[in-house]
Amino acid sequence: MDLRRFPSPNFNARPDGERPELVVLHYTAMDSCEAARDRLCDPQFEVSAHYLIGAEGTVWHLVDEDKRAWHAGVSNWQGRDHVNHRSIGIELDNRGTHPFSAPLMNALEDVLPGILSRWHIPPQGVVAHSDIAPTRKQDPGGRFDWRRLAQSGLAVWPDADNRADPAGFWDDLHRFGYPTDDRTATLQAFRDHFRPGVTGPVSPRDAALARDLAQRFGVDRTAATA
């Protein structure tokens, strides 16, 4: 792995008691990795990530993992806001308009195991920026290969060949982790992650996948706010 240190000044301390329990994947939506790297290291933009992975496979280490990088913005997962407090952000060199390169994906698969091991993060803790901020963000988008990561044990993928009652879809997505205030945005985020290209109202297939995710990886959030 071609790992290079390139410190960003855009970070601060995590709040007391907070430690990484999520990894959030982004795309840069910029013309080059170098442009993205410079933006993530420019104090005037107040944005950063812990890692940036170039299309050619170079991994730029920008912020130490025990520090709070500024990548998630206004966000919520499993009923908790301020995802920056408890996450590691990885930016991927991609504009969102084309497939993610093989060297980039290979490098990501090299980086993730160490992060998950160091912080005891389970595969379901690897999420999309659009998952935690569906009303604001679309990255890494429907072209990102989540199934590949899941096959490597670095993310999760629903395992359901049946159909389920769509009436239970939103409760199941809420249990899995999604904020569900804006159902249109959340449905799009869910499909970009697990059913890219699918459109229309919630289907029995959507419901079956959400049910599997909730049953295997969901948490009891009865008292939490979506």
Q: Which residues are catalytic?
A: 91
Q: Contacts by 30-36 with C-beta closer than 8 Å and gap 24+?
A: 30/93, 30/95, 31/95, 32/93, 33/58, 33/60, 33/93, 36/91, 36/93
Side-chain half-sphere exposure of 46, counting CA atoms within 13 A: 1
Q: Which residues pair with 81 in a beta bridge?
A: 76
Q: What DSSP assignment string belongs to 117-128?
A: HHHT--GGGEEE
Residue with token string 């290291």: 41
- Gyration radius of the chain over CA positions: 17
Q: In angstroms, what CA-CA distances link 137 with 70, 106, 162?
A: 15, 25, 30
3-state helix, strand, coil in the chain (%, to 5): 35, 15, 50
CA distance 45 to 50: 16
